[in-house]
A and B are shown apart, each in its own frame.
Chain A
């Protein structure tokens, strides 16, 4: 039986320093150890079913590994009711779950899910599992799978730490939260005892103690998890890559240029579109500014109150410079972003490594974002974007005003970092996979590159 990697994970370590030193350098990769071994990238969904950041990142990595000629398979979870909708390509597999048979507190699923996953791992003779979530498959399946192969776990959000949708925001007050504790979490969720929260954490740490290495797409997320109890030595930071990159179309700014600021993503209560609306009210009181800008909202409304929807509709009617362009397909995000000068990200939660940032960088568009968490890490203030103060529409307006300048914009465009391709991402992951002590397995022939 596989034993926990360390007893250290059971206590809150209190480590708060950055794990920057653990960032993986793409250039110094030795790729021999996992060559000839079969790698399974395991996701809680499949991009043909849902297009969340975690499943897109997992799928991009899978293709990156295949393009580099590695024997990678993709295993995705799929709701039983969506069996007819999933589109599995070559080397892609699915296991099926019933969302009604899942506990969202301890994250435990039906035994049937474990059995399906184990069958796939054994039938496919998987040597290394790279899990991109535990959601939908549950911790019991995760623990059983970890007995079968080496495990690298990619963390995409804070769900292990925070029961409030992994947002690390208190409820009902919606205040940013820095660290979980049984008593604090019990205050957010009085229906659970502090003992249940302590056991929830204990079970997570026990399950994660079977993991050989962790990957986080941001230092911010990595630091939070190290402070929570994961071993710093096993933590690696690798940015998510993008599946396809096209040369960006760089806009020219005439003297009377109308500056366009675009929001992209789900319009849910955590994404802060309400702050944009409040900023619009302030902008409308500055006619010169209002005449020189446009704010374009892209995405679909999810989980918003009737009051917000009314406010949103009223703002669209009232402000000429504000437009709602509706939902969009991922395939069109490049051209939609290229129609903007800046990308707005006014999130009310920490974020981790939102794909919108990479997508914006891919088309050389600077961001204006809340200066907290993963956003503050990925968007360097005054280098590749501009920060505004959390929950402060007046500051957002001031930053929009500052950004509406060719000098500022050009400087920020020049500060935008490069974006990883799927192959770049896979190369960095391979150095982590190679660091994992793998089991003795027969070596299948190398596969042709995709």
Chain B
């Protein structure tokens, strides 16, 4: 019993504080039974998409369960809720913010900050830089480069920590509205690198939804795609959209934008390059496959 593991699925949200006094009742064939008390320390709550791969390992056929659509919707909603947990390290208000979700690789963090240092002085006077980062193993690198950026520039630069940087787009309204007071923004996801054309466009992109097309640098002749990996919008516009829309788990850019949105949005070609193309787990794919964002 000391090494056994058990998985159970419950409908509804369970707060960590509610996980206590758990008992496992084992019924034997001779009709006797034993009750085991389980310490809260031994419980692992798998309730969000970040652990989708683990969930799939535990229960590979969970997609076939009748409760799966309800569970998928709850997981999608949970991601947006998680994104509201932010910690501000340094906030410098600005009218228009270029928001970067920090990459999850040391090299790409260097690349992101080098790009910012090279281009930020050409931005409009009312434009600031906001870095959204995870408090993970790359936190120290981000803080170091951010402090360098702050000391070598007189532009407003801000650093805000979010629970999971893959969900950074969901954290944009809560970060910008309250702490930066920005009205409009450009968002660059952690897997995206702005090109010179993208940098030239970021100061101007403040009139409604604009997709800054993301290309594959391996196939330079192929046109880029409009995705939520790199887009500009008003803070109010994104907030309203997130409030009224069932959005994907794993980040806003986990799915292509809805066709209806595409007809309304502007496009900036050749604005950015993908640093990689993630392969979503089959479970995440299933969680996001039953609706269109």
Contacts and interface: CB of A to CB of B under 8 A. Distances in A.
Interface in B205-231: 216-218, 220
Nearest to B144: A101
A192 to B, nearest CB: 8
Contact of A115 (B152, B193, B220, B273): B152
Nearest to A10: B220
B177 interface: no
A201 to B, nearest CB: 9
Contacts, number: 58
A381 interface: no
Interface in A77-125: 101, 103, 105-106, 108, 110-112, 115
Interface stretch (B14-22, B89-97, B274-282): B274-282
A195 B148 contact: no
Contact of A195 (B107, B114, B152, B274): B274
Given A111-B117, A143-B118, A199 B144 contact: no
Contacts of B277: 193, 195
Contact of A140 (B114, B216, B275): B114
Given A195-B276, A195-B277, A105 B107 contact: yes
Given A108-B114, A140-B114, A193-B277, A198 B107 contact: no
Given A143-B118, A202-B217, A196 B148 contact: no
A193 B275 contact: yes
A148 to B, nearest CB: 15
B92 to A, nearest CB: 18
Interface in B265-286: 273-277
B216 A195 contact: yes
B218 A111 contact: no
B197 interface: no
Given A101-B144, A106-B107, A182-B218, A199 B273 contact: yes
Given A103-B107, A108-B111, A198 B217 contact: yes
A101 B109 CA distance: 12
B110 interface: yes
A110 B117 CA distance: 11
B152 A196 contact: no
Interface in B85-133: 106-108, 110-111, 114, 117-118
A183 interface: yes
Nearest to A138: B114
Nearest to B274: A195
Contacts of A195: 216-218, 273-277
A382 interface: no
A111 B193 CA distance: 19
Nearest to B217: A198
Contacts of A103: 106-107, 110-111
A406 B163 CA distance: 76
Contacts of A203: 111
A101 B140 CA distance: 12
What bracket does the count of chain A residues touching chain B fall in? 20 to 34
B117 A196 contact: no
A139 B111 CA distance: 10
B217 A199 contact: yes
A111 B275 contact: no
B111 A199 contact: yes
A194 interface: yes
A40 to B, nearest CB: 22
B107 A111 contact: no
B124 to A, nearest CB: 18
A109 to B, nearest CB: 9
Contacts of B216: 195
A198 B114 contact: no
Interface in A122-140: 139-140
B118 A140 contact: yes
Contacts of B217: 182, 195, 198-199, 202
Nearest to A115: B152
Interface string A191-223: 011111011001100000000000000000000
Contacts of A112: 148
A140 B108 CA distance: 14
B218 A198 contact: yes
Residue among B106, B114, B117 with max Cβ neighbours from chain A (10 Å): B114
Interface in B128-153: 144, 148-149, 152
Nearest to A104: B107
A218 B108 CA distance: 33
A110 B216 CA distance: 28
A406 B127 CA distance: 77
Nearest to B276: A193
Interface string A332-364: 000000000000000000000000000000000
B62 to A, nearest CB: 29
B118 A111 contact: no
A183 B218 CA distance: 8
A108 B149 CA distance: 14
A105 B110 CA distance: 10
A110 B141 CA distance: 11
B111 A111 contact: no
A106 B220 CA distance: 19
A202 B118 CA distance: 15
A207 to B, nearest CB: 11
A111 B157 CA distance: 16
25 contacts: A103-B111, A105-B107, A106-B107, A106-B111, A106-B114, A108-B111, A111-B148, A111-B149, A111-B152, A112-B148, A140-B118, A182-B218, A183-B218, A193-B275, A193-B276, A194-B218, A195-B217, A195-B218, A195-B276, A196-B108, A196-B276, A198-B220, A198-B273, A199-B111, A199-B275
Given A106-B114, A199-B193, 4 more contacts: A110-B148, A111-B148, A140-B114, A196-B107
Interface of A: 11, 101, 103, 105-106, 108, 110-112, 115, 139-140, 143, 182-183, 192-196, 198-199, 202-203
